[in-house]
Amino acid sequence: MADELQNFVGGQWTDTSFDRRADIIDPSTGEVYATAPVSGATEVDAAFAAAADASGAWRDATPSERSLALIKIADALEARASEFVAAESKNTGKPVALTLSEEIPPMVDQIRFFAGAARMLEGRSAGEYMTGFTSFIRREPVGVCAAVTPWNYPMMMAVWKWAPALAAGNTMVLKPSDTTPASTLLLAELINEFVPPGVLNVICGDRDTGRLLVSHPVPQMVSITGSVRAGKEVAASAAPGLKRVHLELGGKAPVVVFDDADPEKAAEAIAIAGYFNAGQDCTAATRVLAAPAVHDEFVDALVEQAKGQVTGGPEVEDAAFGPLNNANQLERVSGFISRLPDHARVLTGGHRQGSRGYFYEASVVTGLEQDDEIIQNEVFGPVITV
């Protein structure tokens, strides 16, 4: 039986008012292991009502009270690290060892950072504009915030959204990606042990749910991490209400290898930066510009690095990366390779690995031109072009 996930609203698990549910798939097996609600207007309204109800008291809490709450959350997350890693690895297919070492420590540190920042907010003198009056800038919470997080780093991206918002005295409604809600829901339950009900609410859903979230009249700020397309939609929907927006959007991350570089060391570093998390990273080193004097030697070294990458599911301890997150992403990466122009060459990789799960080989492609599709678009997979 698949687990039935629920929304977390107003400090409690909530039933949905309809029967629409989405399958949650383990990317390392391709099998359904849970279902989650596809929230509609009723659920979005309820979540924002809870956030609005909690906003006044949380806004008026002292910085020291909010800071202490975040410190307690960080301590609890650190103590329960294995539980959260298990949830994240099941939902994303990421290797357990890497998730434990590369994600939990920075998450805990980030929460503690914002716990400290909560007590450092200050106003500045704005100068004297009228005789007998003193002007200054007073920092106040925005109010209720809406946030949408992606599937490549569900837990970490959630921390980047809620931790600064809560530290500053805001409340939040957060929607995780429809393919990776599990760890975020678990995080919401932990957070609500230390903050009043309604300060953080998590609802599950698809793109339509996200649209309802960002266009809702209650939130005064919207933050998303997603595609350029999604960013344009959010900016447009936020404009009529003059909502503040925070948009972290996808893009290419080119790396330049100069003539005086050590090709072996450069290849090793770029392979780590390009293949980590199966290349599903906004800053993945997926495009390399190598100078003529080192180009051929560098390419040979990078091919060897790619061939040495170990892929595997959550329990493979020496895996460099796990599967792609979902079937659509596997199709996207495969499509870029299948549509390569005749002048391009796949030097290694370029294929799906096995028939179980969404694994893809570490790949190196060369011979490309600036206008080629794979150069102009973010692949978001373990493919490095040179």
Structure tokens belonging to residue 90: 């099941």
The second-level CATH assignment, the architecture, of 3-249 is 3-Layer(aba) Sandwich (3.40)
Query: Which of 289, 384, 279, 290 lies closest to 337 in space, CA to CA?
Result: 384
- Using one digit for the tens of pLDDT, what is the confidence trace for 364-380? 999 999 999 999 999 99
| Domain locations along the chain | 3-249, 254-385
Query: Which of 293, 297, 294, 314 lies closest to 90 in space, CA to CA?
Result: 314
| Contact partners, residue 265, CB within 8 Å, separation at least 6 | none
Q: Where are the beta strands (DSSP E) in 38-185?
A: 125-127, 135-136, 144-148, 171-175
Confidence at 171, pLDDT banded by 50, 70, 90: very high
Structure tokens belonging to residue 115: 């716990």
268 is annotated as an active-site residue: no
Choice among 78, 102, 189, 282 that is catalytic: 282
Choice among 248, 264, 268, 304 that is catalytic: 248
Strands 144-148 and 221-226: parallel
- Using one digit for the tens of pLDDT, what is the confidence trace for 9-27? 999 999 777 779 999 999 9
For the chain, the straight-line distance linking the first and the last C-alpha, in angstroms and rounded, comes to 46
- Asked if residue 119 lies in contact with residue 129, where contact means CB atoms within 8 angstroms, the answer is no
- Asked if residue 330 lies in contact with residue 278, where contact means CB atoms within 8 angstroms, the answer is no
- Give the C-alpha separation, 65 to 334, whole Å: 50
Strands 31-37 and 3-4: parallel
Distance between alpha carbon 9 and the CA centroid of its chain, in Å? 21
- Using one digit for the tens of pLDDT, what is the confidence trace for 41-72? 999 999 999 999 999 999 999 999 999 999 99
Residue showing tokens 């309820």? 46
- Using one digit for the tens of pLDDT, what is the confidence trace for 106-155? 999 999 999 999 998 877 776 677 787 777 788 899 999 999 999 999 99
Q: Cα separations (Å) of 47 from 16, 156, 203?
A: 12, 22, 7
Question: What's residue 303's pLDDT?
Answer: 98
Other CB atoms within 10 Å distance of the CB of residue 120? 9
- Asked if residue 113 lies in contact with residue 105, where contact means CB atoms within 8 angstroms, the answer is no
- Using one digit for the tens of pLDDT, what is the confidence trace for 265-314? 999 999 999 999 999 998 899 999 999 999 999 999 999 999 999 999 99
- Give the C-alpha separation, 216 to 196, whole Å: 23
Q: Which fold has domain 254-385?
A: Aldehyde Dehydrogenase; Chain A, domain 2 (3.40.309)
Query: Which of 269, 324, 253, 257 lies closest to 297 in space, CA to CA?
Result: 257
- The rounded mean pLDDT for the chain is 95
- Asked if residue 269 lies in contact with residue 256, where contact means CB atoms within 8 angstroms, the answer is no
- Give the C-alpha separation, 358 to 31, whole Å: 11
145 is annotated as an active-site residue: no
